[in-house]
Amino acid sequence: MANMVLMYMWPYLQQYFGDYMKSKIQPKIQDSNVFLSSFKFLKIDLGRKNMAILGADRMKVTGTVRVVLAPLMPTKPLVGMITWYFPTSPVVEISSTQLKPILKIGGTHFILSKIIKTCLKPVVYPKSAKFKLSKTIDTNALYFRLPKNVICVHILEAAGLYSKDLIQGLRNSYVVAHVGGKTVKTKVAINSLNPAWNQAFQMPLTDIPFQEITFEVLSYNFGENRLLGSCQAGVENILTQPVTDMWLPLKNTPSGKLHVRFERLNLAQDCEKLEEVLMENKNSSAVQIHPFGAAILYVRVRSAKDLQIPNSDELPTSMVLLNVLQTKAKTKAIRYDKDPVWNKTIHFPIQNPYEDELHIEVKDVHHGRLGTFSMSICDLLLAENLTVEGCFNLRSSNPLATINIKMELRILVPPHLDERIEETTSDDLNSEELSIQILPKKIPKPSKDSGTAGTSHGNETTGTSRENKAPRTAKTKFGALKAKIKRASKIIRKCCCPK
């Protein structure tokens, strides 16, 4: 149909193109150089046969589409916004008899596949397509828009991998993990059907339902890397427990299983465990696929005021660029407004809060920088709940220019360092409903006047004394207070007297 329309329009397009070349292009060529002042187009002919548009005869998209209807409203239209996305990249098949000669050219098939992936990227998780049904809905306030969970994934080992090689037991393998729209790859284990990797990575996750972590075990060969098996783990089940250790059976293979461990990190609102987290990240650097973060920073860019283009009266088309170390992000551009409103929340991994800095640049799309603002992350450690918000002056030509932002820092505490989890576990084990008695880690020596503190059976003692419990609690509280004062002094020293 398109080629039929183009055939009838071709004579008129040829006349338009000729007039355009003579009226627009010809004067520019003449003015470009003195020697071309007499340059003229004598005849412009595009030919009698019109060009043809080669399209696809059939297109097939195979994949899973998830649709989220949220938030619910008490009035019409009952749903504030419709969000849809592909959990994983769909498979696109295009067949066209007209494109076959072109696809035989080397590299064209790869370029076409890359173009298709680029077109699908805006609707593949973690990105999504949104349709607002109500103007009063703030899309950034939805529960699944912001990553509120961080997990540490440990890829430990595999067992019983199936080998097709002539030499049994000769297998170089590695694991590729797909989660949250990101891909992580382990090192290569050499010559083993029971390889051990012992590597880990951190991954922030949103509360969007039905998320899965996909693991692919691949063979590493000089030719083509073959798939040895794959498996999935549901994120919702992982987030219910502080630590989840499991063996996942591999699919698409006669045998094999993968040993993984998941740790749900606690997002603490105080820096009580920061020193321990930094020390542990430093000691575990050998197993980290990417450097672990000690904290996560949430930055909500609300608005700006009195933005001005230097030496111009035009209204700016402004956007905000943010970066922490190598992680960069930006907001959308607000057209022709000196007081733009973005309301965009962005998160950054923080490796060391004592050293990292947040850099913000307000930029005009056409005229460049309008103002900058920088803040050291260690300043948040002294703030209440590790949160700072308000209007901050921009370093710009206009002294009245300000930006309104909110910064929240959360310390990533592993389960074995989280006292809150330990206390909860201890309370559950010592509750009266349980009939199992827990033996203490250290067996106390029998005292001479051991009254009714507990029941003694030889060298084992069960039960505790309430009279002896109070002094230990007071001592623990005093030790915790002393540790907090010590940590606060360290933070002040590092912030005020950097090396």
Same-domain check for residues 230 and 182: yes
Give the HSE-up count for residue 372: Cα atoms under 13 Å, Cβ half-sphere.
Answer: 7
Instruction: Select the more confidently predicted residue: 58 or 20.
Output: 20
**Structural domain includes residue 397:** yes
Same-domain check for residues 190 and 162: yes
* Tokens standing for residue 288: 């980290």
Among 216-230, 278-292, 338-352, whose mean pLDDT is lowest?
216-230
Percent of the chain residues past pLDDT 90, beyond the cut: 44
Q: Which residues contact 430 (CB under 8 A, 6 or more apart)?
A: 438
Of 164, 194, 213, the closest CA to residue 256 belongs to 194
412 neighbors 294 (Cβ within 8 angstroms): yes
Q: Identify the CATH number of the domain in which residue 256 sits.
A: 2.60.40.150
Q: Is the pLDDT of residue 428 over 50?
A: no
Same-domain check for residues 45 and 64: no
Question: How would residue 266 be classed by pLDDT, with cut points 50, 70 and 90?
Answer: very high
Question: How would residue 171 be classed by pLDDT, with cut points 50, 70 and 90?
Answer: confident
* Tokens standing for residue 95: 């067949």
Question: How would residue 419 be classed by pLDDT, with cut points 50, 70 and 90?
Answer: low
Q: 102-146 pLDDT, tens per residue? A: 777 777 777 888 888 888 888 888 788 888 888 887 776 676 778
Same-domain check for residues 41 and 118: no
Q: 187-221 pLDDT, tens per residue? A: 999 888 899 999 999 999 888 878 889 999 998 87
Owner of token pair 């949250």: 180
Same-domain check for residues 91 and 49: no
- 81, 100, 134 — which closes off a domain? 134
77 neighbors 135 (Cβ within 8 angstroms): no
**Structural domain includes residue 289:** no
Q: How many domains is the chain built from?
A: 4
Same-domain check for residues 180 and 258: yes
In single-letter form, the type of residue at position 440 comes to P
Is omega for the bond preceding 77 within 30 degrees of 0, making it cis?
yes
Instruction: Select the more confidently predicted residue: 438 or 372.
Output: 372
Same-domain check for residues 332 and 393: yes
Q: What is the pTM of this model?
A: 0.71
Same-domain check for residues 48 and 72: no
- Measure the N-to-C terminal CA separation of the chain; round to a whole number of Å: 71
Q: 307-335 pLDDT, tens per residue? A: 999 888 899 999 999 999 989 999 999 99
**Structural domain includes residue 279:** no
Same-domain check for residues 355 and 249: no
**Structural domain includes residue 275:** no
Among 3-7, 93-97, 395-399, whose mean pLDDT is lowest?
93-97
Of 146, 203, 155, 151, the closest CA to residue 180 belongs to 203
Q: How far apart are CA 147 and CA 204, in angstroms?
A: 6
The beta strands (E) that lie in 279-378 are given as: 295-305, 318-324, 327-330, 341-350, 357-364, 368-376
Same-domain check for residues 123 and 160: no
* Predicted pLDDT of residue 363: 94
- 367, 383, 413 — which closes off a domain? 413
* Predicted pLDDT of residue 313: 87
Same-domain check for residues 181 and 240: yes
Mean pLDDT of the chain: 82
Owner of token pair 């891909």: 183
**Structural domain includes residue 104:** yes
What range defines the domain where residue 182 resides? 151-264
**Structural domain includes residue 468:** no
**Structural domain includes residue 350:** yes
Same-domain check for residues 111 and 196: no
Q: Is the pLDDT of residue 470 over 50?
A: no
Q: Is the pLDDT of residue 436 over 80?
A: no
**Structural domain includes residue 124:** yes
* Predicted pLDDT of residue 250: 94
> What is the residue-wise DSSP string for 179-192?
ETTEEEE-PPBPS-
